[in-house]
Amino acid sequence: MEPVCFPPSHPFNECVMASDLYKPPVPAIQTPQSTRREPSRPAEPSRVIRDPVTGRSYSKGRLLGKGGFARCYEATDLSSNTTYAVKVIPHSRVAKPHQREKIINEIELHRDLHHKHIVKFSHHFEDADNIYIFLEHCSRKSLAHIWKSRHTLLESEVRYYLKQIISALKYLHLKGILHRDLKLGNFFINDNMELKVGDFGLAARQEPADQRKKTICGTPNYLAPEVLLRQGHGPESDVWSLGCVMYTLLCGYPPFETSDLKETYRCIKYVVYTLPPFLSASAKNLLTGILKRNPEERFTLEEILDHEFFTKAYTPDKLPSSSCMMAPELSPPNPAKSLLVKVTKTLFRKRKSKVKKAASEEKDDISKLVSGLVKTSICRQISHKTVDGNEVTPLNGQSPRCSPAETVAEESSQKSISRSIRGTTASSCEGENYSETNPASLACHEHFVWVSKWVDYSNKYGFGYQLSNHSIGVLFNDGTHMSLSADWKKVHYNLTNSKRFSFLTSAIPEQLQEQMGILQYFASYMEEHLMKGGDLPSVEEAGQLPLLLLQWVKTNQALLMLFSNGTLQVNFYNDHTKVIFSKPDHSCLLTYINSDRNSYTYKLSSIAELGCSPELQYRLKYILKLLLQRADA
């Protein structure tokens, strides 16, 4: 059965196609025989779908995707509360016999497939208006959505996804089935971050070479040379598409993509593409072995899995759901832990059992609260690289990379601080016998920097903030960070892999122009509409590395912000008070900005020994409670 086709000049945009979650069968491309009139748009199906044979009813939910023949919706079985993805195909769209036979072929082929990495076919039925195909619902959309958010993936992530695709392809080919439309939009991701191959609208039974159909079908950027040359599809054609998928995930764009479809076809036929220099040698070698013009010279699926790209490099067993939006921090066996993992564990998990114990034994003992805060607010610094690859020394002068011995020394230092505070609080008052006032205030330390303004625009772009030294920063939704110097002359761009690039504002790369525009928007908005949140003095940058916002958490009462130098700032909404923890040397400091915008700085050891006022005590309790809740999350 031949699929319905579009003419070769039909425009195709992978970014647009990638936005579809559950795409219906993708129309193929072949030379036009006649001009067709587009059928009228079918009426929307009712909110409740009823199986006329079994009587079961389904509530139709949000639209997941749409294409030439069908629309795909979330659907919930009203009797079992099971959620499906349902393809709704109007009879008007498959009125011709060959169109209906295509749908029947897809159903018969898909329902016999049972594999961990293939979208599960559940059931189907039809009523007077539509054909309904019920499929496994994959809540995390498709690999196309991840690619659209991330642009490029880490090689370890690509290995993770490719292994699952290859597992499904081996199963299909063993059953004599060719997918014929492998692309990012047809790889769906479930709640457990498992990949499922779907959309069998163009799938076909494998035929001997001399009996293969010569139809050019599939998606232009992923078509194999033999398909364009009308030699037909074979298992090797699926392997070619797999190579294009691998290239797209690693490089951010398909290997043969051009602005002109005929030029794209020419590049495919003659295998004209480039390998970016940032790819590893093994990735380049594997892509070269897959993207061979002659199908017989192409790597097989087994040879791909046996390649050093897979055998000599780390592949994670599972990816975090956050990797849908930002690069994950993956840890191969016995690696040096990354900054973000360390900070997360330090802030939300590290020694949480001890903090819990301290808080539960004497909830009203302020020294225990302070001790807990000290242990959760001391963080490591980050090592960066400039554009030319030179290492940049962190603010405190430590080596950019810490050895295991240095790590042990740091943990020992944290324990020492905790012990010293507990020692000073041995005779501290319990119950409600706290000091009515705070200890004597100190002067701010030389390099004290805090957030004076902030804007939460994370529903679209990210979180923006202005520091007391007048520099501006934005933590974007994709996990990257961009900051603007106080004089607006220099921009620092940080990737999630801890590399820092610096540019003059007059020489921003084209790829970063959009993010630069968002940064400038945040800066202008805060300058025009927000006022500084306290009376603390401004500290000039003086050549220091920019301060990076690592995490931020909003509750109904406060905003918590954690920075790369270990500073932890908590802003309370209702009275605009702020509590800032910093560690300029071996002593931990607490700075409190009250509702009158006056600031006071204390040693934590002094608070532990002398107590503090009820208003500060209340805020310390809330902050610790927030940290403990995050630790349990």
As annotated, the active-site residues are: 181
Type of residue numbered 232: G
CB distance 205 to 165 below 8 Å: no
Q: Would you state the structure tokens that stand for residue 511, as one six-digit string? A: 């790829």
Helix (H, G, I), strand (E, B) or coil at 321: helix
CA torsion sign for 39, 44, 45, 46 is: negative
CB distance 441 to 448 below 8 Å: no
Adjacency order of strands within the sheet including 83-90: 48-50, 57-66, 71-77, 83-90, 130-136, 121-126
Helix (H, G, I), strand (E, B) or coil at 423: helix
CA distance 336 to 320: 19
Q: Would you state the structure tokens that stand for residue 587, as one six-digit string? A: 């002593």
Q: Give exposure, 554-585, as e/b (b: 16+ Cβ within 10 Å).
A: eeeebbbbbbbbbbbbbbbeeeebbbbbbbbe
3-state helix, strand, coil in the chain (%, to 5): 35, 20, 45
Q: Kindly tell me the burial class for residue 197, based on how many C-beta atoms sit within 10 Å of its own C-beta (0-12, 13-18, 19 or more).
A: buried
CA distance 76 to 89: 18
Helix (H, G, I), strand (E, B) or coil at 8: coil
Nearest to 417 by CA among 352, 362, 370, 347: 370
198, 200, 204, 209: CA torsion to nearest 10: -40
CB distance 369 to 624 below 8 Å: yes
Provide DSSP, 103-169: HHHHHHHHTT---TTBPPEEEEEE-SSEEEEEEE--TT-BHHHHHHHHSS--HHHHHHHHHHHHHHH
CB distance 169 to 179 below 8 Å: yes
> How many residues in the chain?
633
Provide DSSP, 335-372: PPPPHHHHHHIIIIITTHHHHHHHHHH-TT-HHHHHHH
CA distance 536 to 97: 77
Q: Would you state the structure tokens that stand for residue 447, as one six-digit string? A: 């390099």
Nearest to 140 by CA among 325, 368, 405: 325
Q: Would you state the structure tokens that stand for residue 192, as one six-digit string? A: 């457990």
96 annotated among ligand-binding-site residues: yes
Mode of pairing for the β-strands spanning 71-77 and 48-50:
unpaired
Which residue numbers belong to the known binding site for ATP? 96
Residues making up the binding site? 96
